[in-house]
Every structure is written in C-alpha cells, then in structure tokens.
Amino acid sequence: MTMSKSRWSARLVLGLALGAGFGLGGGAGQSAALVQAVQEDLGVIGTLQYTDATGAKVFIEGVELSIDDVGGATTDKDGNFRIPVSSPGEYSITLNTATLPEGVTLKDPSRTNLVVTVSENADQRIIFPLITADTVLEVSESSFSVRRVSQLTLEGLKLGLYLAMASIGLSLIFGTTGLVNFAHAELITWGTLMAYFFNIYGLVGTFGFLAGWPAPFGAGVNFIVATGLAAVMGGVLGYVLNRVVFRPARNSGVSLLAQMVMTIGMAILLRYVFVYFFGSRYRVYKDYASQRANSFLGMELTSRDAAAMVVSIIILIAVGIGLNRTRTGRAMRAVSDNRDLAESSGINVERVIAQVWIFGGALAALSGTFFGFDTVKWDIGARILLLVFAAVTLGGLGTSYGALVGALMVGIAINWSTLVIDPELKNMTALVMLILALLLRPQGILGQKQRIG
C-alpha cells in the first residue's frame, strides 16, 4: 500500500510551493497593513453569567463594565466583554450594577469593583459572581450527586477520547521502534497551532509564514477545514522527524537510550521554537471559541465539544478497523508486537515505521486541535504529555487498544478525583496512576510481560 509517503510528500511540496510563491512574488508589494503582527493588545476579559433554577448557565448581555481613565465595554449576547489596556499593570474594573437585568445581583453587593494585575503574556480574566433569587446561596450540593458524577464522567470521557488519539501514536512508535518519544507533546501542540493559523490566516498565510515570511497574513478558513489541515500537517511533521532525525540515527546504530535523549532535546527545541514564533500569549480560535453549553440529561456539553467527541469516536473506530483489516494496519501491529518476526515474514519495517510516525503525528495533531478549544497555547502538549504517558503505560506501551483503554481510564479517573481532591490537583491523579502502574504492572493492562527489563 503506497498511500502515505507519496501523498504526504506531494502535499508538502505543494504547500511550500504556494507559500514560497506568494512570499516571493507578493513580498515586494505587500503593504504593512496585510502583515499582522502576531502579538496583539492586552486586555481584561470576562464572562458574565448566572445559574438559573434548572441549573443551566445563562449569559447576560448589555452589562457595562469600565476601568477609570482607560475605557469600558458592554457584554455581548454570550456574556463576554473585553476592555483593552495598553500596558501591563494593575487595573480596577467596575461593574455598573444599574445595567444588570431584573433580579440579578452581585453575590457580594459591596464588591462592585475588582482589582487585577494584567501581565504581559495574556489577557487577564476576571469573574464577577452573580446570583438571582433562585440561586441556592450555599451550594452544598452533595459531592456525590448523580448529576455531578455524570457530568464528571462526561468530562472524563471527553478528555479520555482526546487523550486516546494522542496516545495511540506514542504507543505505536514505542512498539515499532522501542522509543519513548518525548517530543510527542510537540506534535500535539503543532496540531493546535496549525489549526489556529489556518483558522485565522488560511492556507497561503500559514504556509508563507512557515516558509519564512516574518508574519502570517491573510484571511482564515473555516475551522473544520483548518482542523483537517492541521491533521495533515501533523502527519507531515511526523514524517519529517522520522526521516530526518530518527531514521539516520537508527541506521547509525545510536542506542535507544541516546535516541530517547534525542527526543527530549527535540521536544525542548520544538517547544521553544513554537513560543519564539507564536508567542507566550494564549489565543483562541476564530470560530467556536466560546459557546453556550447545551443541557441534556442534567449534564452540560457545548455543541463543539459534542461534535469533537463524535469525531473522535469515529476516528478511533476507524483506527481500530484500520489496524485490523488493512494491510498497513496489520503490518503496524505485527512490527509492534515482534519486530524481528515481522521483518522475517517480509514486512518492510522501515516503511511501517514511517507510516506509524505519519499516522501518530496526524492523530496527535488532531487531538491537539481539540485540546486547544479552551485556549491555544504554545505548551499545551507539554502540559498533557504526562497524562499521555500515564494513559499509554496504564494500557500497555506498544498496544494501540491499550492506549485507548488507558486513555479513557485516565480521563475518567482525573475527573472523578475532583470529587475528593482539590480540582487544582486533578492532573496529579494521572501522575499517581502512572507511578502505580509502573510499580505494580509495568507492562500495563494489555501489554505483555516480556517487554519489561
């Protein structure tokens, strides 16, 4: 099956050609206005909302907020507001209670203004807690209420599905090459960055930027298209990393431990190159950035998250089928299980490895796109890498089904753990699971015992 290599290469060439063409041909004539600086103004942002009697969130439009001598804003239909400021520092934001709708008041009526510090990195989010007469003031909701547990389970499923897509690639790379790829985090980040760029700047602008133009430019494409493109670019990066860095290392007989250290170096290199060109500010996609949550069965889920989850499920099923039914998939599994045996039965191991990197890269990028829904960050991958490691180890390094099972378990466990521990520490649950898995059953749930030292 000759799918991957030639098609990806073609796309890469096409993309670079387009970008280069525009960069060269259009360069001289581009006016400054088209070249958007990647950095933007700072601001104070927030969302005004309250919870109604049914437990659903209601966003409030038309409320005025202001900062003395700086400016003001009015909330839009989603309850969002933004007051731009020109420099970092301390600001005092006042909410004009006269503009609140009937029956809605501040939880603490005396606190009509808040003081915040705006740093140079990002817009500063503030919260004005609002209540209505219906709001139960002391939310002493039983920690283990069915509603809360089911909401957490849903969140856990969501996290698990996204993690699963990120983890499969890592697991397969380990299975086929024996390498623990620390740079997988950056493949995830790459996905969300690419989705962001395509969404905001479109094909030409993004490729131009990648090809060396100082800053991206242009009009964006639809987010769904951007996501697809991001997945493609993920595959490309995966292919390039294997071809340029790891295959030569493998051929030179570089030891696995040295290669692992190389992945760490690569992870750091990519991460800081990302922050160099993308900036440390957190951004949001142009479309679907914030949405009202839909309520159903007492649980909340935005349409965008629902769609992403459905897409994830479809893709994971497709992956499962692909690994079982297609020749490429079966070859991947064969090499992952027993490389020497696979080689002696005629499978082109190097080609399978290339496919695994492409495939794993594309999946990781896709998961990155979804992780970026809340905010697009340069270190988004790094933040969840340990969660991915936990998922993969729990399920069994080297097995793709294991990655799925592990990811779902980690996702749900993390969310359930907030029932008993401070939500700030919920990611630690994954770390503890990772440590326990390595101690009690290093080969994971679905892994085979021989793999351990």
Partner 1 sequence: MDWGFIFERSFSAMIGPEVVVYALAAVGLNVHFGYTGLMNFGQVGFMAAGAYGVGVSVYWLGWNFWVGIIFAFVYAGVLALLLGLPTLRLRADYLSLVTIAASETIRLLARSRVMRPITGGVEGVNQFAGPFYDLSPFELGQFYSFGPFKYLGRDVWVLLVGWTLLILITLMVRQLMRSPWGRTLRAIREDEDAARALGKNSYFYKMQSLMLGGMIGAVAGVLQVIQKASVQADTFNPVITFTIWTILIIGGPGRVWSPIIGSSIYWTLIVFIENTLRQLPPDVRSTLEDTVQLSDFNISMLRFILVGLGLMLLARFRPQGIFGSREEMALDRR
Which residues bind to partner 1, rule: CB under 8 A? 38, 180, 214-215, 245, 249, 253-262, 264-273, 275-277, 280, 386, 389-390, 393, 421-422, 424-425, 427-428, 431-432, 434-435, 438-439, 442, 452-453
Task: Give me the least distance between CB of 245 and partner 1, in Å please.
Answer: 8
Task: Give me the least distance between CB of 20 and partner 1, in Å please.
Answer: 16
Task: Give me the least distance between CB of 423 and partner 1, in Å please.
Answer: 10
Task: Give me the least distance between CB of 78 and partner 1, in Å please.
Answer: 29
When the beta carbons of 290 and 427 are compared against partner 1, the nearer one is 427
Tokens of 159: 């996290």
Task: Give me the least distance between CB of 308 and partner 1, in Å please.
Answer: 27
Query: Per this entry, what is the length of the chain?
Result: 453
Task: Give me the least distance between CB of 252 and partner 1, in Å please.
Answer: 8
When the beta carbons of 8 and 207 are compared against partner 1, the nearer one is 207
DSSP type of residue 123? P
Task: Give me the least distance between CB of 238 and partner 1, in Å please.
Answer: 17
Task: Give me the least distance between CB of 121 and partner 1, in Å please.
Answer: 9
Question: How far from 417 is each of 30, 58, 299, 374, CA to CA, in Å?
Answer: 53, 28, 18, 21
Sequence-separated (6 or more) residues with CB below 8 Å from residue 367: 162, 163, 164, 165, 166, 188, 191, 312
Task: Give me the least distance between CB of 277 and partner 1, in Å please.
Answer: 6
When the beta carbons of 157 and 215 are compared against partner 1, the nearer one is 215
Task: Give me the least distance between CB of 119 and partner 1, in Å please.
Answer: 12
CA–centroid distance for 370 within its chain: 5
When the beta carbons of 25 and 212 are compared against partner 1, the nearer one is 212
When the beta carbons of 212 and 346 are compared against partner 1, the nearer one is 212
Sign of CA dihedral 408, 414, 417, 418: negative
What is the rounded CA–CA span in Å between residue 271 and residue 281? 14
- Measured at the CA of 98, the angle between CA 93 and CA 99, to 5 degrees, comes to 80
When the beta carbons of 275 and 349 are compared against partner 1, the nearer one is 275
When the beta carbons of 157 and 428 are compared against partner 1, the nearer one is 428
- 3-state SS assignment for residue 378: coil
Task: Give me the least distance between CB of 432 and partner 1, in Å please.
Answer: 7
When the beta carbons of 257 and 310 are compared against partner 1, the nearer one is 257
When the beta carbons of 104 and 392 are compared against partner 1, the nearer one is 392
When the beta carbons of 13 and 24 are compared against partner 1, the nearer one is 24
When the beta carbons of 29 and 253 are compared against partner 1, the nearer one is 253
